[in-house]
Structure 1
């Protein structure tokens, strides 16, 4: 187990970036054969906007990487965190760390991004996409992503986890982010069965519906237990889903400059 985790601790940057583009490519290909929604749009032009936003995110990751190293050095020297208070096998500590990261750095911060007005303004960039596909998983306003990363570091400090746990979680998170946004159709019974444990493509698509109450549901990234536990789980007929937001003009959802300015547009009446 230690050798397995040490791989993620020493994983070079090029391999981490390669993992992102490998997973993107896999689901991009699958979208061509197993579509959930059949819509006509220029997939490459659509991807261009989302991938440029991904580039911003990756630059922010470099800055947070420096901060992360400092935090992990402090945790190592101080023995701070909940994991220091228990005696458990490494696999159990890893599982607990992933659960807490998924709760705080995914479900909880996502809930706040919908419920706090100034956060919701930032998060509308993600929801303004009217053609949800695998590249939508990369579509985040830079300030939105900074908030998410901050909460991830809060979870790291609370647990006092080693850096290998955090890096393994990041690898898993990339997989689930692109899996759940991909425009793919799993067999309905399989998707529904999996949704009792993990977030599935169908389950997450309700979150991208253009109107309430579905917009404010299914906040999870990896595990569906948080939505079920806190009463935010929805699973209905996917044919009724319409992507986007009813408060923004979707004619410019592929205009990068407009998307970066979107949270600061005072003409939009944000209903939060």
Structure 2
């Protein structure tokens, strides 16, 4: 188990970046054969905008990586964090770390991005996509992503996890990011069954519906238990889903300049009930 985790600790940067593009390309191509809905858009043109935003995400991720290394060195020397308070097999501590990361760095911060007014204005960029597909997974305003990364570091400090745990979670998170946003159709029995444990494509699509209350539901990224536990879980008929956001319908969702300016554009309202 430890040798398996050490692989992620020593994984070179080019391999991590390659994993991101491999997962994105895999689900992006899969959409062409098993689409949930036929989207009326030019796939490459749509991807261009989201890939530019992905570039910002990767740059921020690299900068945070420098800070992250310093934090892990301090945690290793100080033995600070919840994982140092009890003895357990490595796999138990890994599971605890993944669950805490998923709760704080995904569900928790995502909930706040919807509920805190100034954070929501940043998050509008993610929801303004009128054609949700795999590339939407990394469609985040740079400031939105900085907030997400900051919450991830908070989770790391709380647990005191080793860096291998964190990198392993990030690799898993990449899969779920593109899997849940991909325009793919699983058999309803499979999607609904899996949704009792993990976030599925259909489950997450309700979150991208253009109107409340579905927009403020299904915040999870990897585990669906948080939405079920905190009463934010929704599952219904996917044919009722319409992508986009009613408060930003007049903005150009494929114009990178317009999207970067949405948080500061007062013509875009903050919330609509």
| TM range, smaller chain | over 0.9
Quote the residue 1:5 is aligned against: 5
RMSD (CA atoms): 0.8
Change (3 A) 1:164 1:33: same
Distance 1:231 1:64 in 2: 32
Distance 2:29 2:50 in 1: 17
Quote the residue 1:30 is aligned against: 30
Structure 1: runs of 5+ lacking an equivalent? none
Quote the residue 1:49 is aligned against: 49
Once the two structures are superposed, what CA deviation does each residue of 1:26-83 show, in whole Å capped at 9, x if it has no partner? 1011100000011221000000000000000100011100000000010011110000
Q: What secondary structure, in the 3-state scheme, does the structure 2 residue paired with 1:32 have?
A: coil
Quote the residue 1:109 is aligned against: 109
User: How far does residue 251 in structure 1 lie from its aligned partner after superposition?
Assistant: 5.0
Query: What pairs up with 1:170-185 in 2 under 5 angstroms?
Result: 170-185=170-185
Quote the residue 1:86 is aligned against: 86
Note if contact 1:132-1:181 (Cα within 8 Å) is conserved in structure 2. yes
2:266 maps to 1:266? yes
Structure 2: runs of 5+ lacking an equivalent? none
Number of matched pairs: 272
Q: What secondary structure, in the 3-state scheme, does the structure 1 residue paired with 2:33 have?
A: coil
User: How far does residue 250 in structure 1 lie from its aligned partner after superposition?
Assistant: 4.5
Note if contact 2:191-2:202 (Cα within 8 Å) is conserved in structure 1. yes
Quote the residue 1:188 is aligned against: 188
Quote the residue 2:253 is aligned against: 253
Distance 1:139 1:119 in 2: 15
Distance 1:250 1:124 in 2: 13
Q: What secondary structure, in the 3-state scheme, does the structure 2 residue paired with 1:170 have?
A: helix
Distance 1:259 1:268 in 2: 11
Once the two structures are superposed, what CA deviation does each residue of 1:91-126 show, in whole Å capped at 9, x if it has no partner? 000000000000000000000000000000000000
Distance 1:68 1:250 in 2: 39
User: How far does residue 249 in structure 1 lie from its aligned partner after superposition?
Assistant: 3.0
TM-score (norm 2): 0.99
User: How far does residue 138 in structure 1 lie from its aligned partner after superposition?
Assistant: 1.1
Query: What pairs up with 1:206-217 in 2 under 5 angstroms?
Result: 206-217=206-217
Distance 1:154 1:39 in 2: 38
Distance 2:39 2:56 in 1: 28
Quote the residue 2:238 is aligned against: 238
Q: What secondary structure, in the 3-state scheme, does the structure 1 residue paired with 2:41 have?
A: coil
Question: Which structure 1 residue ranges, 4+ long, deviate > 4 Å from structure 2?
Answer: none
TM-score (norm 1): 0.99
Quote the residue 1:71 is aligned against: 71
